[in-house]
């Protein structure tokens, strides 16, 4: 796949540059760089008539050994080969092996980050001491003290025969007893175990968090369990077996299937999992079961496990166990969480429709999350479903969950892990700042949004992070704005992306996930900004929303690639966007359109009695020469003044004098006009419009529409939007004629700041001196109101003047 990408890139480069002249084709057809449409993925960007994907069903029994923080399990896998190919072996993903100190991910980590994106720098002074982070040492110590990675105890066939397998890093090949032909299936079973990582020590997207200060002796843990069972690697029409090692950034490429889970945990634990709880009567009290039923129709979230019950749980402990059973259908993964610290609230979301009329939105959190979580987590889940469904499809699963633990934000089908916490104050209450509240709402929207992209629209995260993170961040910002437009949400601004796009430290969005230079800006902010611009500026909401919904519906429960997205958006909107994908997704160009010159023109009448007079007027308003002015000051006497008796015709006429020769010529010109030419000419003279020629240059390289805010001398304004295609034959410089009834006073390029133009100084006619941000700051007062913890600060007692007190 790496080879393919390299070949494509060089092909692309040679295709759009040339040896003669400097022309660069920013509008080159993208199809020559995309995979050829075929019966699996057609030219419209939708699944082809012979589209296929594998199906993998799992029955998994797992036991959480809390004391030793170890998970052991056995899984029965049913693999359905829907491909046209015969498979002699299966590849599985062993993601826990990523944490082994000898993994490719760990061994390929560098000490000082990247060095090669720019020539001629990194002159670190070797006399200076380097620095090492305590977290890095902590990680190394944890890895030294804990055996990490899978222990694969057995791999067997359906008949119980041991199957040969080989482990290659985070991948395992299982050799089958007989090849599975197209349409056939196979059963295998695997026994596995691994030590659960401490999230705060080694990072990652799962693990345990220890709470040493809880009243229970030894404290408590929250376990977030993900990437926890050997999962089938994806076998696809575009790559066959996914064979890209899990290095840490590129997430997961997975198959859909049905899951049956039996999770055995300490009896006082509460478990949240992908899927529907099948045995509530065995794991919940009657009262808790009744609360769960009540929650279905509640207006606000209802506690299933109350704070009091959770606090009681976390103070004690038990040696008994319970088994929680879950069933999940048509999901690409399962994850779960377990802790005796969890309280649990729920509220039914009456979605309507035929797919899932009722969705249970639920949250699981320890006391460290309250009172923030009980107020906003479950409500944020529901808000997410309302907004995302409008842009895509009805939420397809029976539950949507938000779980608090050590992971800042991570998504799985039907379940998300979210990190915001509250702060314990001296008066034993818990409070939170405004930014923490925004973090909670934002991260829940983001992670629950991922249940649509990529958990349902199953893009390949290992290769193209933007397809889930970028698309999701785009809709996230809409959902955030629809929560409260008054909040300055991070995703709703181009500020981030402007500094990133003009920097030297970047790679095209289409770069493979593990090779991205700035992960957040590349995979989240830039594609999200691109989609906003595509929606609001290029296509308009009507065309964009239809095409985007079409993409979502086409690829729901299927596996789209970038070309499918690009093609669908074009095909469904009816707009050729090849230039847009090239610029925003395949290049590191940025937007910087400069208005360089403005020429004001007036139409000549060709009538010498009018035109010569106008020329005389223009000549007269020119400043006289400095020499003449100084001669006059010196009262210099000129020859013509001293010899007024010597004159001729030219003393009474100047070069603007009109003779019949010019008048005859004008008459000849008028007589030569065709009727229609004369009509046009007469009308143009009568209207006497103002003509302007504007010169623009494209300094950033990225071709974009030119949006012009025109202000006229009478105070009126007009907005003109020129399509990006204006750059097609001249991508660096273009000149455009405008004709107005009124005289122009000023012009501003991109007046609404909607194109992420990095330099606004060159956007103005006449030029403006744009104060730098620092200079602007100097002239205004500080505003420190945002970060206050109002809940805590409001407890402050008023200081009473001591004199008055007396």
Partner 1 sequence: MTLRLLIINKFDSNKPSGNKLLHLKAQKTGSAQRIFNTSFATLICTVLLIMLSGETLFAHQKKEAVSRVIFNEHTVTIEVIHRFLLHDTEHASKRLFSKGNVSHNANVLQEYFVEYVGHQFSLKRLTAEVLPLTNIGFEVEGPYLWIYQETPLLPDIKRLIISHGALTEIWPEHVNLVNIERNKKVQSLVFKGSATEQEIIFETEK
Task: Tell me which stretch binds partner 1 (CB under 8 A): 8-16, 428-436, 612-620, 668-676.
Answer: 428-436
Nearer to partner 1, 363 or 416 (CB): 416
Enter the DSSP assignment of 591: B
Of 364, 348, 478, which Cα lies nearest the Cα of 416? Answer: 364
Task: Tell me which stretch binds partner 1 (CB under 8 A): 15-23, 572-580, 649-657, 778-786.
Answer: 778-786
Task: Tell me which stretch binds partner 1 (CB under 8 A): 24-32, 79-87, 559-567, 772-780.
Answer: 772-780
By CB under 8 A, tell whether 182 contacts partner 1.
no
User: Which of 314, 469, 589, 757 lies at the binding interface for partner 1 (CB under 8 A)?
Assistant: 469
Task: Please give the full DSSP string across 496-537, using - where no structure is assigned.
Answer: HHHHHHHSSS---TTS-GGG-SSHIIIIIIHHHHHHHHIIII
Please give the Cα distance from 36 to 440 (Å, whole number): 43
User: Which of 436, 571, 662, 695 lies at the binding interface for partner 1 (CB under 8 A)?
Assistant: 436
Q: How many beta carbons lie within 10 A of that of residue 774, not counting itself? A: 7
Please give the Cα distance from 172 to 169 (Å, whole number): 8
CA distances, 102 to each of 147, 243, 260, 270, 394 (Å): 11, 18, 33, 35, 44
Structure token pair of residue 377: 């987590």
Nearer to partner 1, 118 or 636 (CB): 118
Three-state secondary structure call for residue 209 = strand
Nearer to partner 1, 91 or 223 (CB): 223
**What is the distance, to the nearest Å, from the Cα of residue 368 to the centroid of all Cα atoms in its chain?**
30
By CB under 8 A, tell whether 521 contacts partner 1.
yes
By CB under 8 A, tell whether 518 contacts partner 1.
yes
Residue entry with tokens 């002159």: 123
Q: Are strands 690-698 and 415-418 parallel, antiparallel or unpaired?
A: unpaired
By CB under 8 A, tell whether 779 contacts partner 1.
no
Three-state secondary structure call for residue 59 = strand
Q: How many beta carbons lie within 10 A of that of residue 209, not counting itself? A: 21
User: Which of 291, 325, 438, 567 lies at the binding interface for partner 1 (CB under 8 A)?
Assistant: 438
Structure token pair of residue 29: 């057809």
By CB under 8 A, tell whether 485 contacts partner 1.
no
Terminal CA-CA length for the chain: 82
User: Do 551 and 471 touch, CB atoms closer than 8 A?
Assistant: no
Of 714, 700, 692, which Cα lies nearest the Cα of 765? Answer: 692
Nearer to partner 1, 137 or 628 (CB): 137
By CB under 8 A, tell whether 160 contacts partner 1.
no
Q: Give me the helices (H) in 392-470, please.
A: 434-449
User: Which of 128, 428, 803, 804 lies at the binding interface for partner 1 (CB under 8 A)?
Assistant: 128
CB of 166 to partner 1, least distance (A): 29
CB of 805 to partner 1, least distance (A): 24
By CB under 8 A, tell whether 366 contacts partner 1.
no
User: Which of 177, 350, 659, 775 lies at the binding interface for partner 1 (CB under 8 A)?
Assistant: 775
User: Which of 13, 769, 798, 800 lies at the binding interface for partner 1 (CB under 8 A)?
Assistant: 769
Please give the Cα distance from 734 to 693 (Å, whole number): 10
By CB under 8 A, tell whether 798 contacts partner 1.
no
Nearer to partner 1, 47 or 406 (CB): 406
Nearer to partner 1, 662 or 759 (CB): 759
By CB under 8 A, tell whether 675 contacts partner 1.
no
User: Which of 2, 13, 633, 774 lies at the binding interface for partner 1 (CB under 8 A)?
Assistant: 774
By CB under 8 A, tell whether 114 contacts partner 1.
yes
CA torsion through residues 531, 536, 538, 539, sign = positive
Q: Which x/- pattern, by CB under 8 A, does the window 83-112 give for partner 1?
A: ---------------------------xxx
Please give the Cα distance from 520 to 383 (Å, whole number): 24
Helix axes 541-554, 562-573, angle to 10 degrees: 130
By CB under 8 A, tell whether 489 contacts partner 1.
yes
By CB under 8 A, tell whether 136 contacts partner 1.
yes
Q: Which 730-759 residues touch partner 1, going by CB under 8 A?
A: 759
Q: Please classify residue 18 by burial: count the beta carbons closer than 10 Å to its beta carbon, then call 0-12 exposed, 13-18 middle and 19+ buried.
A: exposed
User: Which of 138, 296, 690, 736 lies at the binding interface for partner 1 (CB under 8 A)?
Assistant: 138
**What is the distance, to the nearest Å, from the Cα of residue 324 to the centroid of all Cα atoms in its chain?**
36
Task: Tell me which stretch binds partner 1 (CB under 8 A): 78-86, 125-133, 376-384, 734-742.
Answer: 125-133
Nearer to partner 1, 75 or 251 (CB): 251
Task: Tell me which stretch binds partner 1 (CB under 8 A): 32-40, 501-509, 575-583, 727-735.
Answer: 501-509
CA torsion through residues 508, 510, 514, 518, sign = positive
By CB under 8 A, tell whether 433 contacts partner 1.
yes
User: Which of 49, 217, 622, 773 lies at the binding interface for partner 1 (CB under 8 A)?
Assistant: 773
User: Which of 28, 375, 502, 689 lies at the binding interface for partner 1 (CB under 8 A)?
Assistant: 502
Nearer to partner 1, 10 or 108 (CB): 108
Q: Which x/- pattern, by CB under 8 A, does the window 232-271 give for partner 1?
A: -----------------x-x--------------------
Question: Total binding residues for partner 1 by CB under 8 A?
Answer: 87
Three-state secondary structure call for residue 415 = strand
Residue entry with tokens 């000419």: 681
């Amino acid at each position: 796949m790496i080879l393919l990408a390299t070949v494509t890139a060089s092909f692309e480069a040679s295709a759009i540059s040339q040896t003669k002249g400097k022309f660069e084709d920013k509008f080159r057809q993208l199809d020559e760089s995309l995979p050829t449409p075929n019966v699996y993925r057609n030219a419209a960007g939708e699944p082809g008539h012979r589209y296929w994907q594998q199906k993998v069903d799992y029955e998994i029994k797992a036991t959480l050994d809390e004391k030793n923080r170890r998970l052991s399990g056995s899984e029965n896998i049913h693999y359905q080969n829907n491909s046209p190919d015969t498979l002699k072996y299966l590849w599985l993903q062993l993601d826990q092996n990523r944490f082994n100190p000898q993994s490719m991910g760990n061994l390929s980590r560098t000490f000082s980050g990247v060095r090669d994106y720019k020539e001629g720098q990194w002159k670190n002074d070797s006399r200076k001491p380097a620095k090492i982070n305590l977290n890095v040492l902590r990680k190394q110590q944890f890895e030294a003290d804990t055996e990490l990675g899978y222990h694969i105890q057995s791999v067997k066939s359906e008949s119980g025969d041991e199957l040969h397998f080989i482990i290659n890093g985070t991948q395992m090949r299982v050799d089958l007893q007989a090849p599975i032909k197209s349409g056939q299936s196979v059963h295998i079973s695997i026994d596995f175990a691994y030590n659960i990582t401490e999230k705060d020590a080694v990072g990652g997207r799962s693990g345990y968090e220890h709470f040493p200060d809880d009243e229970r002796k030894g404290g408590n843990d929250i376990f977030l369990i993900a990437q926890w069972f050997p999962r089938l690697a994806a076998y696809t029409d575009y790559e066959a077996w996914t064979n890209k090692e899990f290095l840490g950034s590129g997430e997961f490429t997975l198959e859909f299937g049905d899951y049956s889970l039996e999770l055995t945990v300490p009896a006082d634990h509460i478990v949240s999992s992908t899927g529907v709880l099948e045995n509530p009567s065995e794991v919940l009290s009657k009262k808790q079961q009744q609360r769960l039923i009540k929650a279905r129709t509640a207006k606000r979230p209802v506690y299933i496990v109350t704070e009091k019950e959770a606090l009681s749980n976390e103070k004690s402990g038990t040696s008994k166990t319970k088994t929680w059973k879950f069933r999940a259908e048509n999901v690409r993964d399962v994850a779960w969480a377990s802790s005796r610290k969890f309280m649990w609230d729920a509220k039914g979301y009456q979605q309507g429709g035929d797919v899932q009329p009722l969705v249970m939105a639920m949250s699981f959190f320890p006391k460290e999350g309250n009172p923030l979580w009980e107020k906003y987590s479950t409500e944020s889940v529901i808000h997410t479903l309302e907004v995302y469904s409008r842009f895509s499809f009805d939420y397809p699963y029976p539950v949507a969950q938000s779980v608090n633990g050590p992971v800042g934000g991570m998504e799985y089908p039907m379940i998300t892990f979210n990190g915001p916490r509250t702060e314990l104050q001296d008066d034993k209450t818990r409070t939170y700042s405004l930014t923490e509240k925004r973090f909670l709402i934002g991260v829940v929207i983001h992670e629950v949004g991922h249940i649509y992209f990529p958990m349902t629209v199953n893009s390949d995260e290992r290769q193209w992070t933007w397809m889930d993170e970028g698309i999701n961040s785009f809709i996230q910002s809409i959902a955030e704005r629809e929560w409260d437009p008054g909040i300055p949400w991070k995703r709703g601004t181009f500020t981030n992306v402007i500094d990133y796009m003009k920097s030297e430290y970047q790679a095209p969005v289409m770069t493979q996930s593990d090779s991205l230079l700035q992960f957040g800006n590349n995979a989240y902010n830039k594609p999200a900004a691109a989609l906003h611009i595509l929606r609001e500026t290029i296509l308009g909401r009507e065309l964009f929303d239809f095409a985007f919904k079409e993409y979502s519906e086409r690829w729901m429960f299927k596996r789209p690639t970038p070309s499918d997205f690009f093609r669908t958006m074009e095909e469904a909107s009816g707009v050729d966007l090849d230039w847009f994908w090239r610029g925003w997704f395949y290049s590191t160009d940025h937007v910087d359109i400069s208005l360089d010159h403005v020429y004001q023109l007036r139409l000549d009448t060709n009538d010498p009695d009018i035109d010569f007079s106008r020329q005389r007027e223009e000549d007269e308003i020119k400043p006289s020469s400095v020499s003449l002015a100084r001669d006059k000051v010196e009262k210099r006497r000129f020859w013509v003044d001293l010899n007024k008796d010597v004159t001729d015709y030219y003393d009474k006429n100047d070069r603007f004098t009109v003779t019949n020769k010019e008048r005859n010529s004008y008459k000849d010109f008028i007589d030569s006009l065709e009727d229609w030419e004369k009509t046009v000419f007469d009308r143009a003279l009568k209207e006497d419009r103002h003509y302007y020629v504007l010169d623009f240059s494209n300094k950033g390289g990225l071709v974009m529409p030119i949006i012009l805010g025109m202000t006229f001398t009478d105070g009126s304004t007009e907005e003109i939007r020129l399509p990006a295609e204006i750059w097609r034959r001249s991508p660096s410089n273009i000149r455009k004629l405008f004709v107005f009834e009124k005289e122009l006073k000023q012009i501003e390029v991109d007046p609404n700041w909607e194109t992420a133009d990095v330099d606004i100084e060159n956007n103005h006619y006449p030029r403006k001196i744009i104060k730098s941000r620092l200079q602007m700051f100097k002239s205004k007062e500080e505003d420190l109101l945002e970060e206050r913890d109002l809940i805590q600060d409001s407890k402050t007692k008023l200081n009473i003047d001591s004199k008055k007190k007396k």
